[in-house]
Each structure stands twice: as structure tokens, then as C-alpha cells.
Amino acid sequence: MKNKLIVTLTTVRGSRQYSLGQVARYLVIFFIALSAVSFFISNWLLVKTSDDLADLVEDHEQLNDQYEMMLGTQNLYKNELDQLSVSLSRVASQRDKLKAENIRMGDELYEGNNRIGELSATLGTSLNGLETLLNVEPTGDLSTERLESLTMMANQRLFMLNSIPNGVPIQAIRISDSFGMRMHPTKHKRILHSGIDYKADVGTPVYSTADGVVESAGNQHDGYGKQVVILHDFGFKTTYSHLNDIDVNSGEFIHKGQKIGESGNTGRTTGPHLHYEVRHLYSAINPAPFVAWNIANFDSIFTKVKSVKWASLKNLYPLNQIAQP
């Protein structure tokens, strides 16, 4: 019995014994050990996958926030600012009119002063909200001139945000590759990755990040597959590559947030994604500061992107109405 392994199986019909040789015994021990190792590896992979999934969910939520900023916020800001401008002008006009009137009767004078106080409070709250939206230092100034100045500043910022690329072009799963030097996945050599790669399922809508005109729309022969190139104001250009479908034509005028196609896997890729680039005078720029740019952090772009000569913008109309960076 030295080299034998006795296995006893018990059923409702009784017990039965089986004798296995030494080789079979080693196989059984190996199988048990392998099962134990597989159990621990599976649990480790499960924990790691859960952590990776949590990171992906966080990335997706951040991209959704940026996506909402790009698609909806600018229009929302514009509508709110238009309504606010009308409302503030009306309140300021009523207040100034009441101040100008010569109310001499006691009760009427008391009521008129109360009404002036109410209108001033409303105007102050609204102006403070506008200052907060624009992220400018509150002054406490409730004059019509301050209202006009803030309204002009808001409109100028919206003009810039519609003219220069900002926000994300797609509601993606995550960013799979950023701007910078990298080992190319198909060319197998270290070269500049001149944009941001957004991992997305085939057929995910792609949107223009600023107003402009389509320079080209079609299949490229340099590995980018189906691609749309849009020219914007002030020398900027954006490209959208590896598309599955294109919805615009060359020469067509495009507005910010307009759908221009759908993401895909065309050209030289290792998986479905959108390759997005921002260029200025043919030079590739890191899109990240433009993706994060919005009306509240408006001044950030002028310090983060140093390759553009922003200072000369202040000489352009209508930007020269209020000094720009």
C-alpha cells in the first residue's frame, strides 16, 4: 500500500474503494494545488478589475461633465445672460425712474422709497450672480454702467468660446491616450502623439467644439481613416479622425455643438476611438487646456497656452471694447 492512494466514495448504495497509483496521486495533489492558486488569482483579478472599473466610472463622469459643458453650458449661459440683461435693464430703469420722480406725499414717498430699496436689492443680487458666473471680483457697484460692463464682458467671452475650440467633442468612455511623446502602437517607434484619444463605441456622436467651416471631410490615406477638419477663427483648426460616419461636407459652415459624424475604427488603429487634435497655424497644441476651458475659468487659457500670442487679441473688434489679456 506504500505507493497506493485509496479513495473511498460513499453513496446511498454503500461505500466503494478505489486504488490509485502514485502518478495519479500526484495528479490529484497538483489539481488541488492548481485550484487553490486559481482561486487566489481570480480573487486578486476581481479586486483589480473592480478598482479599474471604479477608475473608468470616475473618468466617464468627468468626461460627461466636460461634455455637458461643451454642448449645453454655452447655450445655457447665452440664454441666461440674454434674459438677465433684459431683466437687469428693466430693474435699473425702474429704480432710476423712481429716483427721478418727485414724490412729495408722505405715504407715497414712503412706498416709493421702499420700492427703490426692493429694486436695488434685486439688482444687487443679480449683479452679484453675474459676477460669480464670470468669476470676477465683486465691487458692490449697482450702477447701470456696471451692468453694461458685465453684460459686454459676458458677451465677449461667449464670442470667444464659440470661436475658439473648447470642451470635449464626444461623450466617451474614457481618455485612452493623451498629447505628448509615446511609443506608437502600430508603427512601433517613439513619436509625438499630436492629440487626445477618446475611447468610444463605434457610432458614438462626435460634435464640433467651435463655430467654423469644414476644410475637408472624407477618407484620409495617412492612417487617420475617415476624418473631418474644421477651420475656426483666429487661426485655429480641429481634426476628428477614425470616424465611422461623416455628416458634413467640405465648405459647409458649422456651429459649436453641431454633430459632424460618428466615432469608429477606420484607418490605422488598435481599437475604436476618436483622435481629436487642436492646431494653431498648422502647429499641434495640447488640447487639454482647451477641453477644460469655459466661461468661469476664462482667463486660464491665456496663461496655460503660451504658444499663442494672445496679447494682440485686445486690438481686435469687438474685443477692444474691454481690455483683454
Same domain, 36 and 74: no
Q: In terms of residues, how long is the chain? A: 325
d(CA 121, CA 137): 19
pLDDT over threshold 90, residue 85: no
pTM, two decimals, is: 0.66
pLDDT over threshold 60, residue 110: no
The torsion angle over the Cα atoms of residues 36, 40, 42 and 48, rounded to 10 degrees, is -170
- Among 11-15, 75-79, 264-268, the minimum mean pLDDT is found in 75-79
In contact, 238 and 230? CB cutoff 8 Å: yes
Which run of H or of E encompasses 4? none
Q: Which amino acid is at 79?
A: N
In contact, 182 and 191? CB cutoff 8 Å: yes
Is the pLDDT higher at 314 or at 73?
A: 314
Looking at residues 102-131, what average pLDDT do you find?
Answer: 53
- 169, part of any domain: no
d(CA 292, CA 297): 9
In contact, 242 and 290? CB cutoff 8 Å: no
Q: Which amino acid is at 218?
A: G
Which are the contacts of 189, defined by CB distance < 8 A and separation ≥ 6? 183
Same domain, 108 and 49: no
The residue to which cell 438677465 is assigned: 84
d(CA 271, CA 181): 20
Is the pLDDT higher at 295 or at 115?
A: 295
- 301, part of any domain: no
Q: What is the pLDDT of residue 135?
A: 79
The residue to which cell 477618446 is assigned: 198
Looking at residues 235-239, what average pLDDT do you find?
Answer: 97
Q: What is the pLDDT of residue 116?
A: 45
- Among 8-12, 86-90, 98-102, 105-109, the minimum mean pLDDT is found in 105-109
- 127, part of any domain: yes
Q: What is the pLDDT of residue 170?
A: 93
Same domain, 83 and 193: no
The torsion angle over the Cα atoms of residues 316, 317, 321 and 322, rounded to 10 degrees, is -40
Domain boundary among 163, 182, 199: 163
When divided into structural domains, the chain yields a total of: 3
Distances (CA, A) of 247 to 193, 201, 222, 228: 26, 17, 21, 9
Query: 66: burial class by Cβ within 10 Å (0-12, 13-18, 19+)?
Result: buried
* DSSP-assigned letter for residue 70: I
d(CA 274, CA 295): 25
pLDDT over threshold 90, residue 130: no
Q: What is the pLDDT of residue 103?
A: 46
- 201, part of any domain: yes
Query: 25: burial class by Cβ within 10 Å (0-12, 13-18, 19+)?
Result: middle
Same domain, 184 and 282: yes
Residue 112: band (very low, low, confident or very high) from pLDDT cuts 50, 70, 90: very low
Domain boundary among 14, 45, 62: 62
Q: What is the pLDDT of residue 256?
A: 93
- 306, part of any domain: no
Q: Is the peptide bond before 272 cis (omega within 30 degrees of 0)?
A: no
Predicted confidence (pLDDT) per residue in 144-196, tens digit: 777 778 778 888 888 899 999 999 999 888 898 888 776 666 666 677 888 99
Which run of H or of E encompasses 8? strand 5-11
The torsion angle over the Cα atoms of residues 133, 137, 140 and 146, rounded to 10 degrees, is -70
- 318, part of any domain: no
Q: What is the pLDDT of residue 180?
A: 76
Name 15's bridge partners. 10
Which are the contacts of 193, defined by CB distance < 8 A and separation ≥ 6? 177, 178, 179, 180, 181, 182, 184
Same domain, 121 and 9: no
Same domain, 57 and 110: no
What residues make up the domain containing 198? 174-294
Same domain, 73 and 16: no
Query: Mean pLDDT for the chain?
Result: 76
Is the pLDDT higher at 269 or at 2?
A: 269
Predicted confidence (pLDDT) per residue in 68-84, tens digit: 545 544 555 555 555 55
pLDDT over threshold 80, residue 253: yes
User: Which cell numbers hold the place of 272?
Assistant: 475604436
Give the end-to-end CA distance of the chain in Å, rounded to a whole number.
Answer: 92
- 307, part of any domain: no
- 24, part of any domain: yes
Same domain, 85 and 31: no
